[in-house]
Chains A and B, each alone.
Chain A
Amino acid sequence: MIWNPNKECMSRDERSALQGKRLHKIVEYVYHNVPFYRHKLQEMDIRPDDIQTIEDITKLPFTTKKDLRDNYPFGLQAAPQSEIIRIHASSGTTGNPTIVGYTRKDIGVWSECMARCLTAYGVTRDDIFSVSYGYGLFTGGLGAHYGVEHIGASVIPASTGNTEKHLKLIRDLGITGLACTPSYALYLAETMDKLGIRKEDLKLRVGAFGAEPWTEKMRQEIESRLGLKSFNLYGLSEIMGPSVSYECQMQNGSHICEDHFYPEVINPVTLEPLPLGQTGELVFTTLTKEGMPVLRYRTRDLCSLMPGTCDCGRTEVRMGRIQGRSDDMLIIRGINVFPSQVESVVLSMPEFAPRYLLVVDRVNNLDTLQVQVELREEVFTSTFDTPAAVDDLEKRLAAKLKSVLSIAAKVQLKAPGTIERSQGKSAHVIDKRKL
């Protein structure tokens, strides 16, 4: 089912024209209402009339998380305070939170986009839907809540916490849909085991999971333990909140509500836009937002936009899974390398534990990359007793790395348990280059 076929299935030409028109309008709007953008555009000698088509977007300046912090609390707000009907704040690990104000129209657009997501998941007005994202300053709870109400399903504002009571409601009320983080979904499954509740006792059938990265493996585990079909829900509060993109029944990438949120993928170093299909940093421009519109906001999320059309009938462009953060990028011999690329290769080969270390060095003015990977116990079978067997495994890994990274890496196999368990992403990299 499709909530708004007029927008979700419009022809690409028609949509480009709409995006161009909206981009012009939003640039004009921020030029007159946000001094931060007016100064930036003036510095670059750009007038709103220079922006007529969606292709003109590359002329515009970027916005970063730092810009939002520097203009705390209301510096980037475009609408007068009297028009703002809600304010969310995202927690930052350092410094000020990011404050995002929404007008009544913004809340309407958000509900509309969220309705598109839910409908794509198969949720209808007949569902009883529990929203178990946190309600409050975080956008997850209220964002999903308004979408569920908008499509006319019954919303249970469960929020987080009191999991046992929540499970009782899921069972007794026959709740059919659930929105939460994937890790909370797994926590629910554990609590079910503890209470002796079986998935057969529940009527759950649809899950909308997001707000944190998750893997295909987690998806399988959640689905088998909760007995529902799970869908990805992506969003970020700087742009809107959950509903920026969503999986359809094809589950091959997440459709972006691109008549409202225009996506680009850029090289995070040169800031050049990348062709469709290439991995880089995801950038969004809000095309219709009134409260706090942003131009070319750098999400720091790495992913690619997928070429081609989807079998579900929607023409909205799809984004692939988030592969990491652009802050983690390494430049080796001029090539951008992400630890997450190495991780995906390591995880794809059953011989290796999910532990690895990238060691970057510079020898005779040439960058070198060594990838250390840890063998699994299971590798040590009766035939793993010759140097040829070790070489063969090493060569297969090296070939896969080369094809994914586009540069050669020296592979170093390590015995089980000899790579230290990492704390966070940066622990996967040792850069010995003295530049």
Chain B
Amino acid sequence: MTIHQLSIFIENRSGTLIKVLEAFKEAKIQLIASTIADTAEYGILRIVCAEPMRACEELKKAGIAVALSDVFALQLDNKPGSAADVIKLFSQAGISITYIYTFLMRGKGILVFRTNNTDLARKTIAENNLPYIAEGDLAEWA
């Protein structure tokens, strides 16, 4: 029910981001979504891509500081308020969200989030029949 997201530690100086992107290019792995959470000194670059396990290996080989995080990727209805409705379900279940971001894939809104309470999140998704993206979908959709 979860997918692997790459979390990459980068220092906020020129050349660090391009090194990561070049590594993806080298490995011929397509990016699907990326977002960056940063402070003055560092950034955590979060990437959803095709073949995340292989991407992680390739980035490590290129000397990039990368971790794999388990995140949920839910498919949203293309209408106003759909994200709010989904988040509300989790909040009612008492699940706190560590971070969240959205992107479009094949015209569909995708909501990515990580929580510290993965088991409860799984249960909530199952109970509410929420459509989610599985890891296998990534390669196919990219």
Considering the complex, give the chain A residue whose CB is closest to the CB of B16: A415
A382 touching B11 by the CB < 8 A rule?
no
List which B43-77 residues lie within 8 A (CB) of chain A: 43-44, 46, 60, 63-70
Considering the complex, give the chain B residue whose CB is closest to the CB of A380: B67
| Bound-state Cα–Cα, A224 to B64, Å | 36
A380 touching B44 by the CB < 8 A rule?
no
A415 touching B64 by the CB < 8 A rule?
yes
| Bound-state Cα–Cα, A378 to B6, Å | 15
A387 touching B9 by the CB < 8 A rule?
no
Q: Does A417 sit within 8 A of B, measured CB to CB? A: yes
- Give 1 or 0 for each of B106-140: 1 = CB within 8 Å of chain A CB: 00000000100000000000000000000000000
List which A77-94 residues lie within 8 A (CB) of chain B: none
B42 touching A390 by the CB < 8 A rule?
yes
Contact-residue bracket for chain A: 10 to 19
Taking CB atoms, residues of chain A closer than 8 Å to B46 are: 385
List which A369-388 residues lie within 8 A (CB) of chain B: 375, 377, 380-387
The interface centre, meaning the residue of B9, B70, B114 with most chain A CB atoms within 10 A of its CB, is B9
| Bound-state Cα–Cα, A381 to B67, Å | 5
A387 touching B67 by the CB < 8 A rule?
no
The interface centre, meaning the residue of A386, A391, A418 with most chain B CB atoms within 10 A of its CB, is A386
Binds A, one of B21-29, B33-41, B79-87, B88-96: B33-41
Taking CB atoms, residues of chain A closer than 8 Å to B43 are: 387
A391 touching B39 by the CB < 8 A rule?
yes
A380 touching B65 by the CB < 8 A rule?
yes
Q: Smallest distance from the beta carbon of A417 to chain B beta carbons, Å?
A: 5
Given contact pairs A375-B9, A384-B9, A385-B114, A412 touches B65 in the complex (Cβ within 8 A): no
Given contact pairs A380-B9, A415-B11, A416-B63, A387 touches B42 in the complex (Cβ within 8 A): yes
Q: Smallest distance from the beta carbon of A281 to chain B beta carbons, Å?
A: 36
Q: Smallest distance from the beta carbon of A83 to chain B beta carbons, Å?
A: 64
| Bound-state Cα–Cα, A383 to B69, Å | 7
| Bound-state Cα–Cα, A380 to B6, Å | 10
- Give 1 or 0 for each of A394-427: 1 = CB within 8 Å of chain B CB: 0000000000000000001111111000000000
| Bound-state Cα–Cα, A289 to B44, Å | 64
B65 touching A382 by the CB < 8 A rule?
no
Select which of B5, B42, B66 is within 8 A of A413 by beta carbon. Answer: B42
B44 touching A385 by the CB < 8 A rule?
yes
Q: Smallest distance from the beta carbon of A192 to chain B beta carbons, Å?
A: 35
Taking CB atoms, residues of chain A closer than 8 Å to B64 are: 415
| Bound-state Cα–Cα, A412 to B5, Å | 25
| Bound-state Cα–Cα, A412 to B11, Å | 9
| Bound-state Cα–Cα, A100 to B102, Å | 77
Q: Smallest distance from the beta carbon of B55 to chain A beta carbons, Å?
A: 14
| Bound-state Cα–Cα, A390 to B12, Å | 13
| Bound-state Cα–Cα, A62 to B105, Å | 77
Q: 13 extra interchain contacts, Cβ-Cβ under 8 A, other than A380-B9, A413-B9?
A: A375-B65, A377-B60, A380-B7, A381-B67, A382-B68, A387-B39, A387-B42, A387-B43, A390-B39, A391-B39, A414-B11, A415-B11, A415-B65
| Chain A positions near chain B (C-beta within 8 angstroms) | 375, 377, 380-387, 390-391, 412-418
A–B complex contacts, Cβ < 8 Å, 10 sampled: A380-B7, A380-B67, A384-B9, A385-B114, A386-B99, A387-B37, A413-B42, A415-B64, A416-B63, A417-B63
